[in-house]
Amino acid sequence: MGRTGRASVGLLFFVAVLTSLAFAGGASGAGSLCGDKVLSDWADNGRLDGVYPLRCYQAAMSKMPADLRDYTDAGDVIQRALTRAVTSSGERGLGTEVAAGTTPNVGGESTTALPLPLLVLIGVSVAVLAAGALGHLARRRRVPSD
């Protein structure tokens, strides 16, 4: 393998690693931020004023500290809001409806996130396309040995 081939393999590896890290970081952080918003909404006045997607309530319940769960009613309030979101939504709790007299406190976060397997597939596709392009360029630059 020539010098160009090794460089293209190294570049391909670098692009693949960066792509996978970018997609993995974005997907894992979304649920965490959402759960933080639910907990901060409760901490504001002891109730949930906004309507959130189901994953937000679940993230808040899973990341709630033990002392907050044991000594406050935060767990009960979030569980009731989760139950209300599941029963009131026509599509089994997508959490997109707004209760009367309230405004959602979700901020700019989108509720239509791409699933992780699709993100991985996109990353692999980009890596394969980059490898093909680098291979094509390496072949074009190769000098005939005649």
Instruction: Give me the pLDDT at residue 97, please.
Output: 47
Higher confidence at residue 100 or residue 41? 41
User: Smallest Cα–Cα separation from 35: which of 23, 22, 48?
Assistant: 48
- Residues 59 and 35: beta-carbon distance below 8 Å: yes
Instruction: Give me the pLDDT at residue 18, please.
Output: 58
Instruction: Give me the pLDDT at residue 66, please.
Output: 87
**Whether residue 144 has pLDDT greater than 50:** yes
- Residues 50 and 75: beta-carbon distance below 8 Å: no
**Whether residue 62 has pLDDT greater than 80:** yes
Ramachandran sector of residue 113 (left: φ over 0; alpha: ψ -120 to 50; beta: rest):
beta
Give the Cα separation of 130 and 136 in Å (integer): 10
Average confidence (pLDDT) over 16-34:
59
**Whether residue 39 has pLDDT greater than 80:** yes
Q: Which of 9-23, 32-46, 47-61 has the lowest mean pLDDT?
A: 9-23
**Whether residue 13 has pLDDT greater than 50:** yes
Two structure tokens written together for 117: 């397997």
92-139, pLDDT tens digit by residue?
444 444 444 444 444 444 456 778 888 889 999 999 999 999 988 888
